[in-house]
């Protein structure tokens, strides 16, 4: 039997994390599946950290990241350069993930060549094309192109059904981010990497701490100013520290360092490798974030999450009660954070809720579906 060719394609750190658990599952079918990995390197440095941690060997590296890149040039470059890879490898199926410019442009490039596309983490919607920007529209476009849709939840499947996607092409799988989290925690369980040892050596960890992340475009400007002022107030109101790995984007760094750099209870650190970040999540009291992935991961660790967004394409977590939407509203961020610290019953209820995003077997379900479809 001639092997079927599958190309796993991604370009950012979050995609790499969520695609990583698929690789060992595909390798179980090496007799019938020829798997190749292609990266656009839309994000270079942070992507490389994940590749090293999960021991991912890349077959095609487009290395597209440029200083000051914009969405127009990036989209054009991805379409042009993936076309070359498709013509070389001639895959029977291209797998893309989520809502990035890489996923949207690579899917469109495959479509132009008549190559089937599978969409991992399909069907998430905010129904507002400008929030998050440009991710919501990227996800919608990829969903229209895709031939197979791996929806993490029943809600995301229903969104696809409302868009008249063929039900036989949709599979509810859970989210592969949970698979990656469990793999990652297992890798650092017995031997702490240097990145974690460095955190232990340089941060106090003698009080409970809040872990903060933020990078969304829609929060740039006044949104981040409001967030910073809220974090300053929280640091003055609680017997707790704040650890904030600060995104490299100047739109994030400028307000964060302006308003928070002289606060002795707030530790502004560099963006962390994946293994160090999941260790920080596991050690934290609670998490304040605008990240989609953290909304999915934290419930598996029993960590309440305050989401600094007005809308979320992950409403399951809101419905389940594992996250609370606070937007960039100063009062909401301060009030909800202090409430979770002071109301033990509320904290315990949130931390003990089950994760709506899966059981750690999403990758197995996805690969089994693909193998059955291709053969």
pLDDT digits (tens, 9 = 90+) for 130-167: 888 899 999 999 999 999 999 999 999 999 999 999 99
Task: Please tell me whether residues 318 and 204 are part of one structural domain.
Answer: yes
- Average pLDDT in the chain: 94
pLDDT band at residue 116 using 50, 70 and 90 as cut-offs: very high
Task: Please tell me whether residues 169 and 25 are part of one structural domain.
Answer: yes
Count of structural domains within the chain? 2
How confident is the model at residue 355, as a pLDDT?
86
pLDDT band at residue 31 using 50, 70 and 90 as cut-offs: very high
How confident is the model at residue 196, as a pLDDT?
95
Task: Please tell me whether residues 84 and 146 are part of one structural domain.
Answer: yes
Q: Is residue 165 part of a domain?
A: yes
How confident is the model at residue 163, as a pLDDT?
97
CA distances from 263 to 213, 247, 266, 337, 373 (A): 17, 18, 5, 18, 56
Query: pLDDT tens, 71-112?
Result: 999 999 999 999 999 999 999 999 999 999 999 999 999 999
Q: Is residue 219 part of a domain?
A: yes
Q: Is residue 97 part of a domain?
A: yes
Residue 13 belongs to what domain range?
A: 4-175+359-374
pTM over 0.85: yes
How confident is the model at residue 16, as a pLDDT?
96
pLDDT at 115 over 90: yes
Task: Please tell me whether residues 243 and 284 are part of one structural domain.
Answer: yes
Task: Please tell me whether residues 215 and 148 are part of one structural domain.
Answer: no
Task: Please tell me whether residues 169 and 215 are part of one structural domain.
Answer: no
Task: Please tell me whether residues 210 and 165 are part of one structural domain.
Answer: no
- Buried b / exposed e over 35-58, threshold 16 CB at 10 Å, is bbbbbbbbbbebbbbbbebbebeb
How confident is the model at residue 287, as a pLDDT?
97
Task: Please tell me whether residues 224 and 346 are part of one structural domain.
Answer: yes
Q: Using a pLDDT cut of 70, give the percent of the chain over it.
A: 100
Task: Please tell me whether residues 129 and 213 are part of one structural domain.
Answer: no
323 burial (CB, 10 Å; 0-12 / 13-18 / 19+) is buried
Q: Is residue 182 part of a domain?
A: no
Q: CA–CA separation, 149 vs 135, rounded Å?
A: 17
pLDDT band at residue 175 using 50, 70 and 90 as cut-offs: very high
Q: Is residue 187 part of a domain?
A: no
Beta partners for 266? 242
Lowest mean pLDDT among 180-184, 215-219, 349-353: 215-219
How confident is the model at residue 317, as a pLDDT?
87
Check if the beta carbon of residue 188 is closer than 8 Å to that of residue 168: no
pLDDT at 48 over 80: yes
Query: pLDDT tens, 278-325?
Result: 999 999 999 999 988 898 899 999 999 999 988 888 888 888 898 999
Q: Is residue 263 part of a domain?
A: yes
Lowest mean pLDDT among 39-53, 277-291, 359-373: 39-53
Listed in sequence order, the residues at least 6 apart from 344 whose beta carbon sits closer than 8 Å to its beta carbon are: none
Q: Which residues are catalytic?
A: 99, 121, 135, 215, 217, 247
Nearest in space to 14 (alpha carbons), one of 125, 124, 146, 103: 103
Q: What is the CATH number of the domain that holds 133?
A: 3.40.50.2000
């Amino acid at each position: 039997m001639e092997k079927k060719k599958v190309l796993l394609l991604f370009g950012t750190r979050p995609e790499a994390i969520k695609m990583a658990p698929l690789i060992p599952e595909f390798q179980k079918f090496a007799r019938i599946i020829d798997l190749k990995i292609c990266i656009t390197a839309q994000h270079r440095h942070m992507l490389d950290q994940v590749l090293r941690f999960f021991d991912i060997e890349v077959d095609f590296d487009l290395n597209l990241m440029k200083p000051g890149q914009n969405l127009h040039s990036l989209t054009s470059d991805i379409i042009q350069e993936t076309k070359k890879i498709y013509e070389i490898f001639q895959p029977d199926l291209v797998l893309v993930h989520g809502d990035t410019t890489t996923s949207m442009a690579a899917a469109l490039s495959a479509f132009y060549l008549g190559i089937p596309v599978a969409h991992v983490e399909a069907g998430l919607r905010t129904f507002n094309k400008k929030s998050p920007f440009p991710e919501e529209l990227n996800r919608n476009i990829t969903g229209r192109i895709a031939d197979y849709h791996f929806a993490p939840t029943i809600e995301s499947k229903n969104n696809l059904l409302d868009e008249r996607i063929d039900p036989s092409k949709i599979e509810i799988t859970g989210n592969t981010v949970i698979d990656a989290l469990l793999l990652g925690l297992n890798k650092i369980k017995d031997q702490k990497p240097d990145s974690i040892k460095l955190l232990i050596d340089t941060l106090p960890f003698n009080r409970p701490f809040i872990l903060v992340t933020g990078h969304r475009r829609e929060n740039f400007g006044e949104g981040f100013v409001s967030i910073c002022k809220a974090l300053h107030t929280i640091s003055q109101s609680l017997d707790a520290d704040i650890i904030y790995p600060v995104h490299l984007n100047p739109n994030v760094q400028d307000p964060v360092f302006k308003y928070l750099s002289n606060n002795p209870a707030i530790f502004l650190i560099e963006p962390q490798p994946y293994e160090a970040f999941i260790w920080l999540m596991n050690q934290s009291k609670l998490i304040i974030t605008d990240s989609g992935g953290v909304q999915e991961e934290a419930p598996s660790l029993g960590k309440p999450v305050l989401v600094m967004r007005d809308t979320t394409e992950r409403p399951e977590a809101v419905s389940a009660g594992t996250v609370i939407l606070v937007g960039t509203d100063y009062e909401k961020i301060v009030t909800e954070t202090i409430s979770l610290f002071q109301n033990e019953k509320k904290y315990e209820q949130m931390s003990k809720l089950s994760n709506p995003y899966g059981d750690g077997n999403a990758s197995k379900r996805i690969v089994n579906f693909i193998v059955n479809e291709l053969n």
